[in-house]
Amino acid sequence: MTMDRYVITGKQRLEGTIRVSGAKNSSLPLLAATLLAEGTSTLLEIPALADITHMIEVLEHLGCGVMRQDEALIINAGLLDSWDVDEGLMRQMRASNLILGPLLARRGRVKISRPGGCAIGSRPMDQHIKGLQQLGVKVKEKHGYIEAWADQLQGADVYLDVPSVGATENIMMAAVLAKGTTLIRNAAREPEIVDLQNFLNKMGARVRGAGMDVLRIDGVDALYPAEHTVIADRIEAGTHMIAAVMTEGDVTIENVVPEHLEPVIAKLRQTGAQITLLDDSVRVQQRGRLKGFDIKTMPYPGFPTDMQPQFMAMLSCAEGTSIITETIFENRFQHVDELRRMGAQITVEGRTAVIRGVETLEGAFVEATDLRAGAALFLAALAAEEATVLEKVNYIDRGYEDLEEKYRRLGAKVRRVIPNE
Ligand code: EPZ
């Protein structure tokens, strides 16, 4: 599939206001959760992203009716006439595996093809499977397929070896209709888990503790459709904050939950940026060259791995030497080679990258290898001298809504080129 490219002219100071869209990583589990109730649920402020379109295709394949009305997505999960998702649909996005929990709770069986690894890591599912098995689910893995079934889900005391976001979400969604109480210990604490808890409870579930490391779910007999507005995307917001800093701009970012961005705000203040918090927006002003610092990615509320590539772009042209340690994914340095093409001085040893800041990055031909690597290169291009051609921007479309439009309004010079145009 030929992919679109951006042509970006750097050194344009960004000024003005940009509004953050709904969170991709909350929208995906919320869409899966609508499978739990017969009837029509409404989700508001779901972003128009490639990954969301893909999840809608999965729901439609299962028999749901899905309709978009402006900012509202209306999902009728009444007629679930299928419980298996074919290879093609599964392969395109790992988060399709979030239908495991809901389908087991609603239909008692599900078959998916094991989602492939991706650029950033092998993406295992052992914690999902171990937790579901503790709830009484039988699992058969064969020929790259995962088939799972359960006559009756039973509450259990589940301990996650790693605080996996997806595993926490899948086990939560299976447990809401199980007999008895489920505890999930060492649960992921991301804001997206809290958003899912809030939606499930609106549907009649009894979930408590999201945001802490022990979740308690008291099973109920049935759930009912509900309406919910997805939280804002903290990773999109953080990306825009870096754009403001890297172009020595003055940008106000609207639709932000400041406490979801604490590690990002702390680090940007450390580099010397002026950050002003208002109740649902953040103003970022930067004058002069940034100072380098070290980062270690950790599960929430630690520094988010999804902001690591974007910070590396920023640190590539900061003063001094910075060290980034990526503790979550084993292969999330794909953007290093591309940043080097723009003049960045980076060496990688295993999960550690050492960045020697350069005065300025240079425009070059580069390509996105995955969503956040693409975002990092987009930011680097905004700050680089002259022009950058960024290939494979369809990766960026997976996680950023209307990116070029939003940035043109801030004064960026970015143009999307569609091959064979
Ligand atoms: C979610 O992925 C996000 N995606 C990712 O965002 C994010 O990087 C990740 O959480 C970590 O914060 C969505 O929410 C759709 P994990 P997920 O299970 O749930 C290991 C983006 O750019 N692990 O928390 O797949 C795994 O190998 C994407 O928006 C197991 O060992 O992440 C990894 O090292 C990229 N066994 C760590 O846990 C398992 O069964 C975290 O993975 C599951 C995971």
**In ligand 1, which atom is closest to the CA atom of 330?**
34
Which residue CA neighbors atom 14 of ligand 1 most closely?
25
- Tell me if 126 CB under 6 Å of ligand 1: yes
From CA 185, how far away is CA 173, in angstroms rounded? 15
**DSSP3 helix / strand / coil % (the chain, rounded to 5):** 35, 30, 35
Angle at 287 between CA 283 and CA 290, to 5 degrees: 100
Query: Tokens 């909350």, residue?
Result: 26
Q: What is the pLDDT of residue 88?
A: 81
DSSP letter for each residue of 92-148? H-GGGGGGHHHHHHHHSEEEEEPPP-BTTB----HHHHHHHHHTT-EEEEETTEEEE
Task: Please tell me if the CB atom of residue 49 comes closer than 6 angstroms to any atom of ligand 1.
Answer: no
Ligand 1 pocket, 376 CB below 6 A?
no
Q: Ligand 1 centre from 55 Cα, in Å?
A: 17
Which residues are identified as catalytic? Answer: 118
Q: What is the pLDDT along the chain (421 residues), one digit of tens a residue?
A: 679 999 999 999 999 999 999 999 999 999 999 999 999 999 999 999 999 999 999 999 999 999 999 879 999 998 788 888 877 888 888 899 999 999 999 999 999 988 866 788 888 999 999 999 999 999 999 988 999 999 999 999 999 999 999 999 999 999 999 999 999 999 999 999 999 999 999 999 999 999 999 999 999 999 999 999 999 999 999 999 999 999 999 999 999 999 999 999 999 999 899 999 998 999 999 999 999 999 999 999 999 999 999 999 999 999 999 999 999 999 999 999 999 999 999 999 999 999 999 999 999 999 999 999 999 999 999 999 999 999 999 999 999 999 999 999 999 999 999 987 6
**Cα angle 415, 416, 420; round to 5:** 130
Task: Please answer whether residues 173 and 162 qualify as being in contact, where contact means their C-beta atoms are separated by less than 8 angstroms.
Answer: no
Mutate which of 96, 165, 396 for ligand 1? The one with the most ligand atoms within 8 Å of its CB, which is: 165
Contact 230, 23 (CB under 8 A): yes
Q: Which of 112, 102, 51 is nearest to 80 (CA)?
A: 102
pLDDT of residue 121: 86
C-alpha 379/C-alpha 242 separation (Å) is: 8
- The CB of 55 under 6 Å from ligand 1? The reply is no
**Under a CB-based contact definition with an 8 Å cutoff, are residues 339 and 367 in contact?**
no
Question: What is the amino acid identity at position 60?
Answer: E
Task: Yes or no: say if 20 and 232 are a contact pair by the CB < 8 Å rule.
Answer: yes
Which helix (H) or strand (E) segment holds residue 377: the answer is: helix 371-383
Which atom belonging to ligand 1 lies closest to the Cα atom of 120? 35
* DSSP symbol at 305: G
One-letter amino acid for residue 261 of the chain:
L
What's the number of CA atoms in the CB half-sphere (13 Å) around residue 195?
A: 28
Ligand 1 centre distance from Cα of residue 171 (Å) = 14
- Find the angle CA(397)-CA(402)-CA(405) to the nearest 5 degrees: 130
Q: Which of 128, 162, 330 to mutate to test the pocket of ligand 1 (most atoms within 8 A of CB)?
A: 162
Mutate to test the pocket of ligand 1, among 100, 123, 239, 371 (most ligand atoms within 8 A of CB): 123
Cβ of 141 closer than 6 Å to ligand 1, yes or no, is no
Ligand 1 atom closest to residue 328's alpha carbon, by position in its atom list: 34
Q: Does ligand 1 come within 6 angstroms of the Cβ of 371?
A: yes
Of 202, 234, 238, 206, which Cα lies nearest the Cα of 219?
206
The number of the ligand 1 atom at minimal distance from the alpha carbon of 123 is 27
- At residue 86, the pLDDT reads 75
- Most informative mutation of 328, 331, 332, 400 for ligand 1 (most atoms within 8 A of CB): 328
**Residue 95: CB within 6 Å of ligand 1?**
yes
Eight-state DSSP code of residue 289: P
Residue 147 CA to ligand 1 centre (angstroms)? 21
- Please give the number of the atom of ligand 1 that sits closest to the Cα of 300: 12
| pLDDT attached to residue 1 | 64
Phi/psi zone of residue 275: left (φ > 0), alpha (ψ -120 to 50 degrees), beta?
A: beta
> Is any ligand 1 atom within 6 A of the Cβ of residue 166?
yes
* DSSP label at residue 254: E
Convert 242-281 to b/e letters by CB count within 10 Å (16 or more is b): bbbbbbbbbbbbbbbbbebbebbbebbeebbbebeeeeeb
User: By C-alpha distance, which of 7, 51, 12 is closest to 382?
Assistant: 12
Tokens 């049935």, located at residue: 222
- Cβ of 239 below 6 Å from ligand 1: no
306 ligand 1 Cβ < 6 A: yes
Residue 129 C-alpha to ligand 1 middle, in angstroms?
15
Q: Are 209 and 192 in contact (CB under 8 A)?
A: no
Q: In what order do the strands lie in the sheet with 206-208?
A: 157-159, 181-185, 214-218, 206-208
Task: Tell me if 311 sits within 8 A of 344, measured CB to CB.
Answer: no
Neighbour tally for 139: CB within 10 Å: 17
- Enter the tokens of residue 238: 């953080």
Predicted model pTM: 0.97
